[in-house]
Every structure is written in C-alpha cells, then in structure tokens.
Chain A
Amino acid sequence: MDLELLSRIQFAFTVAFHYIYPPLSIGLGVVLVGFEGLYLKTKNPQYAQLARFWIKIFALIFGIGVATGIVMEFEFGTNWATYSRFVGDIFGSALAAEGIFAFALESGFLGVLLFGWNKVSPTMHFISALLVTLGSMFSAVWIVVANSWQQTPAGYHLVGHDLAVRAEITDFWAMVFNPSSVDRLLHVWVGAFLAGSFLVLSVHAYYIYKNKYVEISKKAFKVALAVATVSALLQLLLGHHSAKGVAVNQPAKLAAFEGHYDSLAAADMYLVGYVNNKTEQVSGIKIPGGLSFLVDGNFSSPIKGLRYFKPEDRPTAVNFVFQTYHFMVAIGLLLIALTLYASYLLWRKKLFQQKWLMLVFAFAVLLPELANQLGWYSAEVGRQPWVVYGLLRTSDALSKAVKQNEVLFSLILFTVLYVLLFTLFIYMLNKKIKHGLDDFAIVADENPTTKRDNPIMHS
C-alpha cells in the first residue's frame, strides 16, 4: 500500500473510532442535565440516583473520547504536514478557540461532576453538569467549523505559490460562518443527542425487559424518549437542509449521493440501489426526479451530474458514498418511526408492557451511532479527491518527511491499541450495566442539607 492510502486509512480509522465517543458524551450530557434538573425541581431522589449512575458511564465515555481526541490533534501534523502548512493560518484559530473555550471547560468541570458530590451543593453540581455539556457542544462547534471550512472554504485568500502556497484568513466571521458550517453543526449536534439518548433508552429498556429497576427505569426512559423523539424529528429537517446546502456548494458530492451522472437530466432519488462507476449506471428502486424535487421543488429540473466534473476532480468511490448516504437516511427514518411509535404507546399508557419493543430499544443504541458514522463517511469520502474542496488535493497534503513503513507501524500500533481499548470499554460498560443502580440509591436524609454534607452522598 502506498503512503497516501496508508495515511488515509490511519486517519479514517482513528477518527471513526474517536467519533464513537463524543456524540455519546454530548447526548448523554443533555440527558444528565435533564436528570439533575429534575432532581432539583422535584427533589425525587430517584433522579439523583439516575444521575449518579449515568455520570459513571459518562466518565468512561468521556475519558476515551479525550484520549482518542488528542491523537486527532497530533495527526494533522504527523501525517498531514503539507495540509497543516496550508490550513494552519485558518484552521489554527478554530482549533485554538476549541481548546480555550470548549475543551478546557468540559475537562475542568468534569472533575467536579465526578468527584464533587460531597464537595459542592446540588445546585453547583447541576451547573457543573450543564457546563460540561455546554463545553462538549462548544467543542463540536469549532471542530465542525474547521471541517466545514474544508468543505466550503470562505473568508481566506491564497498566499505564496507552488509548494509554499497557503490559505490565510481575511475574515474570521466569514470563515466561522462559511456556507456549510451552521447546517452541519446542527446536524452533528442533533445526531449526538440521538446517540446519547438512545444509549439511555437502551440500558433502561434492558432493565425493564429484565424486570429490574422498573420504576426508576421508566422515569429515565421517559426523559430520554423525549430527547430522542424531538431530535429524530428535527434531524429530518436539518438533514434535508444540509443536503440542500451540499447541492449548492458541493454539487459533485450531491451527485455522488444519488449516483447521478448526466447534467442535462433530472436526478432520481433511490430507495435502494447500486452504482456502477464504470458504466455510470445505477440499478435499484427509485423515485424518478426525486432528487430534483428535493433540491429544486420540481421533478424535472436538471441537476449537475458527475460527468460535469473532470474525472480527476470527482469522487471515485461513488458507490461507497451512495450506500453510506442511503443507509444513514434509512436509519434516520427508522428512528423517527421508532420514537413516534413509542411516544404514542406512552401516551396510551401501554409502552412498558410491550416487552418486544423494549428488546428493540435495547439494541437500537447501535442505530444512531451507525448513522453518525455513515454520515461522516459519505461527507468525507464525497469530498474526495480534495482535502480542502477545490483548493488542496488529498494526495498533495501528506507529510513529506514520513515514510510508508512508519505509517504502517503506527497503523498497526493503533489497531492493536484500539481493539484493546474497545474491548475494555465494552467490558466496563457491560459490568456497570449488569451491576445496576443499587449502589447509587440515596438514603433520604431528614436533616436539612448543608453545603458540605448533601444527601446525595450517603449511599
């Protein structure tokens, strides 16, 4: 394998692995804020018990997210030095803002969240949960801004020539609010809400299925179901809006989403299909003119196809982009159906009797995680052959000082390490879930609470 392919595999592997965790943190953070807020409001100790149980899991997920995130920050320099030189002037300020405004906030208050039960008041603890969650959401802001700038560069000019060319910032706010950043940020946030809320749904559905911790699990399930239902519906809107942005800003990517080649024809929308990039044909079940309708509101509008772009300027893995995009959309629709159906049953007070549905929810945790992954695959592979759309090719972005063997070595290292990490993660998660909520129960304290001695700690 050549250096470029190895470097791409390593980056894809490490970032995909990393991205298992941050969406869970963000989404779980939102649910935690809900639990702690409800505890403050209702004084029902079960909410504090839920918060304490989930904070332990949050810490596990957060820790792995941080550890694998540092790798990402270093990898730009180690494997993509030319890219770093090219984007540093722009990317740097986003990354600096991320570190200063977001990452420091979440990591700082995580200590209070985890170890602060006995040290701060319940209100301060709630505020810490809020700050950690906001911090993780701010993190997403700057990372998505930087990535969106790669998709739709704005607020820059090019300086230098040949090998030494780099993009320099001309307008910070134009860079931050580049054409795709708001759409994509909202899409990412809501994807994270889905991931986190479905984790909570999964665990408590499992408990209800097993007839354990039933009362408390019903409470948790309702909170998480509210987050999940709103998010699933919102995601339809945001996803659609995001795709319309892609149509305007990255037509080659949009064309790859649906395997659309002919610029003079209306574009179809496939429900399922297969793209043959050689013959430039798609076979499958389609809604004729569907994509044209979604983009333009008219079933017969022509849409720019892949053939419009020179072969070296368009993605080659068209079928991959097509499949990942379609699976993501399919999962999104499935999540809407699932959450709406569960909400309906909840309203009819029949939800928790449906054991089969609890079993479905127990496994459904995989769906939003999968959709988050697939969405990024189609976004990033669909941007190829560019690392910065229209400006810098992926093949030109590599580190010149790094040799093939070295990347192979580090790739093997990371593969072994991440397999170990993932195994430990699943093992610990499983252990915590099996261990259950008992240890986190609260013995009601009759005495008025003081700051140093709040009732949450007496287990």
Chain B
Amino acid sequence: METFLGIELSTWWFAIVGAVFTGYAILDGFDLGAGAIHLLFKKEESRRIALNAIGPVWDGNEVWLVIGGGALFAGFPDVYATIFSAFYIPFMLFLVLLILRAISIEFRSKEPMRWWRQMWDVLYSVSSALIGFLLGVVLGNLIIGLPIDSHYEYTGHFLQLLNPYALLTGATTLSLFAMHGSIYLVMKTEKRLYTKLSLMVHDTSRVFVVFYMLLTIVTLVYYPHMANTIKRYPFLIAVPVITVFNTINTRRLLELGKYLAAFFSSALTVALLLITFAMNLYPHIVRSNINPLYSLTVHNAASSSRSLTIMLIIAAIGVPIIAVYTSFVFWTFKGKVKLDENSY
C-alpha cells in the first residue's frame, strides 16, 4: 500500500470516511434531534418555527450521509458490501424512515386540518428518533463485532443485531442527538418557544450525561478491546478526557445561556465520541467474532492504491469547495427563524 505523508493511503481513507460520517452525525444529528423532541412543543406556531429552523438545511445535512455511503463504497467496497448486506433489515427500515421523515417535513404544513398536521408531526418525530436510534444500534454492533465468515459474509440473524448493548448505544445516540438538536433550536428561536427550550436543554443534556456515563462503564467492563489503542498509545487517553471536560463545559455554557458556544461544544462531543470509537476500532472496521482472521480491516478491505489516490485528489478538490458554500448557506440563514410565505 502506498503512503502519503508517511501514512498508508488506506488509513487516510479510513480517516476520511470517519470524518464524513462525523460531519453527518454533527449536522443531521441536530435536525434529527430537533425532530425527536418535536412533540414536546404543543403550540402549532412553535412546531412550525421548530420545523423551519431546520427547513433550509436538513436536506443539505443528509447529503453527508450520501457522501459517507459513497466514500465507504469507494474506499472499502468489502466493508460496504458486508455491512449493508448484514444489516439488511435495519437498513431497509432506516431507508423507509428517512423517506417517511422527508415526506412529513414536506407535507405537514400543506393542509390546515389539525389531524393532518398532528399525523405528520408524530411521524416526523418518531422517524427522527428511530433513525438516530438505529444509527446507534449499528455502531454498537460494530463495537461488539459480527459473525463474519471467511468470505466476509455475515452469517447471523437480524434479531441478533438488537442485543442489549446495541440498544444501549442506540439510546445513547438518541440522547446525544436530542441534546444537540435542542441546543440548535434554542439558538434559532425567540420569545415563548425560546423560554421553553432554554429550560429543556438542561433536561436533554442531563439525560445525555447519564447515558454517556452508563455506556462508558458498560463498554469498559464488557468490551475492553475498545481501549486497545489507548493502551498501546497512552497519550490518546487525552481524547476521552477532553470529552469529559467538554461535556461539563457544554453544561456550563448552557447555564450561562451562551447557546452558540454550547452548540459548538455539543458538536465537539459528537466528534470526540466518534473519534474515540474509530481510533479504538482501528485497524479493524468490521470485527469478526467467529475468527479474528476474518475481520475486515483497513488493510484487507481497501480499494487499490490507484483508486484511493484518485479519490484523495477528488476529495482534496471537492471538500474545500463544499466547506465554502455550506458556510455561505448557513450564513445566509443565520439568526432567529421568522415565518414567512416561503416557510413550511
């Protein structure tokens, strides 16, 4: 495998795929989180404001999932093939939920009837919550490892994927998104909804802290391999330590009412948790619990050097451009949400 700046191309690509999914989790994380708490707003106007706060950006946020899927397919075709066929039913449900969610955002405000709006609101909220939850379930199973045979094929049943640990990672992910989304909303709203949300963020962040502590303990007890990389490179203990301090800081910033800073802080929490996950998984991507030799790693599952080089060039050209215009779009819609005739 060729190298770039002394690091193997496949490792670079592992980092890129990780970065894209992290971008996805940060961005879609807040709009999924906003969706998950949507039913807690009772007034019609509050719901519309909450929906329009994510209105111009949720579609763009979801693009990161598409890019992530593409990057995984491109960089590690075997991982893409193995995971997607192994998680067949969960991914199919995930897709259906994504579509139902998109439909509910699009259609809820198109008719004035109460039942109509309530129906789409429920669908929107439930699908947002379940999507976050399912993403966490996938992460949990990647931590545990999957029954992968010598042809890199999954040999288990789909109900095995819904094991207690995976349910815990699912719930933790959901609580993380709920915190992240509520902080986003408090940043984008004013008046009564703002007041309500400024109280709600304390609850969502507390719930997250509880799940975060629980998950950390359970992982260290049952899946100590998730600390392997830190054992080998002790200085990396800095990552989880920073995560803890950063979480405390999020809470502090919320107390102070510094919501923009708190939003960046919770985005950092999302990133740090995924970095902790990825660095301890490395060099594995999908761990086989039948035989460690069957595991998919950055070494045996990567595309060819030439392919990775080409895609590195594509990413080097494309990503800065995306960063510039994504910033432009967010800047265009900065500030508090006002409903107008273009709104949902």
Residues of A within 8 A of B (CB): 60, 63-64, 66-71, 73-74, 76-79, 81-82, 84-85, 87-93, 95-101, 103-105, 107-112, 114-120, 159, 163-164, 166, 168-170, 172, 399-402, 406, 409-410, 413-414, 417, 420-421, 424, 428, 431, 439, 457, 459
Contacts and interface: CB of A to CB of B under 8 A. Distances in A.
Contacts of B76: 88
Contacts, number: 224
Given A100-B67, A115-B56, A168 B326 contact: no
B59 A88 contact: no
Contacts of B325: 105, 108-109
B99 A399 contact: no
B328 to A, nearest CB: 8
A168 B65 CA distance: 25
A184 to B, nearest CB: 21
A68 B99 contact: yes
A218 B96 CA distance: 41
Nearest to B102: A67
A89 B307 contact: yes
Interface of B (DSSP majority class): helix
Contacts of A77: 69, 73, 80-81, 83-85
B98 A81 contact: no
B60 A107 contact: yes
B154 interface: yes
Contacts of A79: 85
21 contacts: A67-B102, A67-B103, A73-B70, A74-B91, A82-B81, A89-B77, A91-B74, A92-B77, A92-B307, A96-B70, A96-B73, A100-B315, A104-B67, A104-B322, A107-B60, A108-B322, A115-B343, A159-B304, A168-B307, A401-B153, A428-B107
A410 B99 contact: no
B67 A103 contact: yes
Instruction: Report, nearest first, the 5 A-B pairs whose CB atoms are least far apart.
Output: A88-B77, A92-B74, A77-B84, A100-B318, A111-B56
Contacts of A431: 110
B214 interface: no
B332 A95 contact: no
Contact of B69 (A74, A104, A421): A74
B75 interface: yes
A154 B66 CA distance: 26
B342 A115 contact: yes
A169 B307 contact: yes
Contacts of A169: 304, 306-307, 310
A376 B319 CA distance: 32
Query: Chain B contact residues (Cβ within 8 angstroms of A): what range?
Result: 35 or more
Nearest to B94: A74
Interface string B141-167: 000000000010111001000000000
B142 to A, nearest CB: 15
Contacts of A69: 66
B342 A399 contact: no
A107 B322 CA distance: 11
Contact of B151 (A88, A111, A163, A166): A163
Contacts of A428: 107, 110
A63 B102 contact: yes
Interface of B: 55-57, 59-60, 62-63, 65-67, 69-71, 73-78, 80-89, 91-92, 95-96, 98-100, 102-103, 106-107, 110, 151, 153-155, 158, 303-304, 306-307, 310-311, 314-315, 318-319, 322, 325-326, 329, 332-333, 340-343
B294 to A, nearest CB: 13
B311 A93 contact: yes
Residue of B87, B88, B100, B341 ringed by the most chain A CB atoms within 10 A: B88
A96 B85 contact: no
- By CB atoms of chain B within 10 A, which of A85, A99, A170 has the most? A99
A98 B322 CA distance: 13
Given A77-B85, A99-B70, A112-B332, A88 B102 contact: no
B96 A406 contact: no
A7 to B, nearest CB: 11
For the residues of A in contact with B, the DSSP-based class is helix
B20 to A, nearest CB: 9
A120 B154 contact: no
B314 A96 contact: yes
B153 A92 contact: no
A55 B83 CA distance: 38
Given A107-B59, A417-B99, A81 B89 contact: no
Nearest to B63: A107
Contact of B80 (A60, A66, A71, A88): A88
A67 B102 CA distance: 7
B106 A63 contact: yes
Given A74-B69, A439-B341, A81 B84 contact: yes
Contacts of A73: 66, 69-70, 73
A64 B107 CA distance: 12
Given A81-B84, A89-B304, A74 B341 contact: no
B314 A78 contact: no
A108 B329 contact: yes
B88 A399 contact: yes
Contact of A116 (B67, B82, B311, B332): B332
Contacts of A420: 103
Given A109-B325, A120-B332, A78 B70 contact: no
B208 to A, nearest CB: 27
A48 to B, nearest CB: 13
B100 A166 contact: no
Contacts of B307: 89-90, 92-93, 168-169
Contact of B77 (A71, A84, A108, A110): A84
Contacts of B332: 111-112, 116, 119-120
Given A78-B88, A99-B63, A401-B154, A115 B107 contact: no
